Amino acid sequence: MNRQDKERVVAQMAAVLAESQAVILTDFKGLKVQDMQGLRQKIAEVGGEYQVVKNTLLKLAAKGTFVETLAADLSGNNGLSTTAADPVPLAKAIVDFAKSNDKLVVKGGALSGQTLTMDQIRALASLPAREVLLAQLFGTMNAVPGGFVRVLAAVIQKLAYALVAIKDQKEQTA
């Protein structure tokens, strides 16, 4: 690869990294081509991208981005997973694939400026989907006014029961 090609690749990688919300660095040594295609397909289904990167080019592209913290892990074969969308599905796809294929080793990651360890990536993968979290939040927010309305309705209902009981008692005495 000549210098111009390398500069173009670095510029493309820098653009991808600038748009990314999360980045996960993996070692793919020993993966078969068929497995690699399966991994790429899983990542693409969740809105991510997986590419094999040259360490020196990634170091150059990562300068000035939040991915720069991963520079210490850049040795050997590296695959870079990126997503500009929700990072949870990307983490789930990679962790699930790594469970079924021990050749894929997660080295680390970065999420909006913070470096992630393998345990943190697993924790991220165990989170429910964004839609589920939003549903839980809205359910919790709806519970407070709903409970308030039920309390007010119960007071009115008990008042109505008391008035009916007084009416029934007066009818019996009359």
Contacts of 144 (CB under 8 A, 6+ apart): none
Q: According to the model, what pLDDT value does residue 73 have?
A: 64
What is the pLDDT at residue 72? 63
Bridge partner list, 22: 83, 111
Edge to edge, what strands does the sheet with 48-53 contain?
48-53, 78-83, 22-27, 105-111, 114-116
Task: Give whole-number Cα distances, 80 to 40, 67, 165, in Å.
Answer: 11, 11, 74
Here the tokens at position 168 are 């029934």
CA dihedral 118, 120, 123, 124 (to 10 degrees): -100
- For the chain (174 residues), the mean pLDDT of every run of 10, in chain order, is 83 84 87 88 90 84 78 78 87 89 86 82 83 85 82 86 88 83
Tell me which architecture the domain covering 3-127 has in CATH: 2-Layer Sandwich (3.30)
